[in-house]
Structure 1
């Protein structure tokens, strides 16, 4: 069943019957984050990645066995800091010789779009968050949750997360998610001049 061969990181989506939209590729690795800013950053990152792949005709193929090994490595604690992952050293194809590193490719794809200064500022902050998470400068949500639990006064270091700890964790996450409390271990300081809502932004673009 080609529709379920490997769902861990991406999925081939065959076209629906009686449709001409063609085959699609669905990116699947990202998880829901605490804040809208983080979710927007991940969505923007994926969009820029797809644009870079199509613009530069990048070759990101690796054996499926390597993909499976990557997923196993990703399940370890603090994998982003301590695990090694399979990735192509050369992204170039015959049509795109001397392709630079992935970060440079995404920045190039980003720079080639005609965007106003406010939007560029916001997207740069999204990419800054992704870069700092990858470098370990900022904690992932999972790392921060472990940090919160293990440093909670009610935690007895016995792997038991009781109701008090759970309540305090969820309350803290709620306050962070609605900007009532800062969390510098997880999120950078953010500022943006962008004030347009989605409908106004679309209208401005058109």
Structure 2
């Protein structure tokens, strides 16, 4: 389908869902950034089913789906050898998503106001939220089947490997009929619940040319549901009669201003997938803690000011082969924890003799390491050293340049794109310390962004 046609269907279908109030409301997407002269309440015209109303509060009101749909993201897709490997990678990337969302933050301004968040995610989540009052739990269930905890655009709801089921410590809503059908066809409980969760929502549109199809050979109907559940990760199915296999789509990152920055983030996530697969690393924590991380990731300057739950002992799943011996040689004290006695205490908590396997860390500690965790970049560099004979000097230099950018963003040595934009606005001579991004500030900000895109601002 043509992208423009698809977008038009989205804009029309989501607000017009039966019993949904999205067509008649303006999402209070985020709080205004409170500067010295910022007004305590901003006026906004609120459209209700019956009339236009005036509202005063400290939120930025955005009327229409386009405020979310118009946001840009950086998404990467990785093809695995088989379903088992794709499921393993999917689960390991679940908690990498909020880390990369904060690290790539690039959206502090919305509708001409400086906001108190740094990413697009809350905007997307609310603008694509077509849940009814019943589904939100605000009214008793009468016309709908489920109480749904999250918007269509949200973080991952469940791990999909059976061995990680104990970490699904939140209530998972799923379509019981779909679940039973999948189980009867031989799928395990974890994958059945993941797919059945997709079917708690109505389809947004149907294409007339694909209504009649051979469902043995064509998965268009399933893809219709799968592609309109916008989670931080997406498990993508093989395409019949092609070489396209099982894939994992990584979706949370913000778009950056330059090709170099975008390449750095894409390559970094790719290298994370390589060390996860090569060393069988374990980044799984309770899904409730992932949700907390997602909430923290969009906060102002989260990359420096917030802490995130992350697994301390990431080597518990390692195969004790030659690759593990390389890790032992480089990260001895960390890998020694992998042979610690592990016991399950209760659902959602996995403990060792040393206590919880996860704790709160800064993004700098997660990326560059601390006394509890060696850091993703040191692990990547160890992996790259084992591959140095397979790459030329130019490739190694470029890869190290990418890693340096990520490392510097994590440590604060290099500002995030959101920080760059926010600082440009607040230091502009025409800024009145009132959270308003005027036309002239906006124009000159765009010129500065264009210059940075071309390598003119470091």
Normalising by structure 1, what TM-score? 0.80
Residues 281 and 318 in structure 2, CA contact (< 8 A), matched pair in contact too: no
Look up the match of 2:265: 42
Structure 1, unmatched stretches of 5+, are 184-206
Look up the match of 1:54: 277
Give the C-alpha shift of residue 94 in structure 1.
4.7
Look up the match of 2:152: none
Look up the match of 2:422: 146
Give the 3 Å change call, closer, same or farther, for CA 163–94 of structure 1 in structure 2: closer
Does residue 83 of the first structure (1) align with residue 306 of the second (2)? yes
Does residue 7 of the first structure (1) align with residue 231 of the second (2)? yes
Give the C-alpha shift of residue 18 in structure 1.
6.0
Q: Distance in 1 between matches of 2:398 and 2:275?
A: 19
Does residue 128 of the first structure (1) align with residue 404 of the second (2)? yes
Q: Please provide the CA RMSD for this pair.
A: 2.0
Look up the match of 1:158: 434
Residues 296 and 308 in structure 2, CA contact (< 8 A), matched pair in contact too: yes
Give the 3 Å change call, closer, same or farther, for CA 36–94 of structure 1 in structure 2: closer
Q: Distance in 2 between matches of 1:36 and 1:21?
A: 27
Q: Distance in 2 between matches of 1:5 and 1:172?
A: 35
Q: Distance in 2 between matches of 1:45 and 1:124?
A: 10
Look up the match of 1:70: 293
Alignment of 1:8-23 (within 5 A): 8=232, 10-16=233-239, 21-23=244-246
Bigger helix fraction = 1
Give the C-alpha shift of residue 17 in structure 1.
5.3
Give the C-alpha shift of residue 103 in structure 1.
2.3
Does the residue aligned with 1:86 lie in a helix, a strand or coil? strand
Counting matched residue pairs gives: 181
Bigger strand fraction = 2
Give the C-alpha shift of residue 11 in structure 1.
2.2
Larger Rg: 2
Give the C-alpha shift of residue 48 in structure 1.
0.7
Q: Distance in 1 between matches of 2:396 and 2:243?
A: 34
Q: Deviations over 1:144-178 (max 9, x none)?
A: 10000000011101111111000000001111211
Look up the match of 1:182: 457
Structure 2, unmatched stretches of 5+, are 1-196, 199-225, 325-334, 339-373
Alignment of 1:89-100 (within 5 A): 89-92=312-315, 93-96=317-320, 98=335, 100=374
Q: Distance in 1 between matches of 2:405 and 2:397?
A: 13
Give the C-alpha shift of residue 131 in structure 1.
0.3
Give the 3 Å change call, closer, same or farther, for CA 41–20 of structure 1 in structure 2: closer
Does the residue aligned with 1:11 lie in a helix, a strand or coil? strand
Normalising by structure 2, what TM-score? 0.37
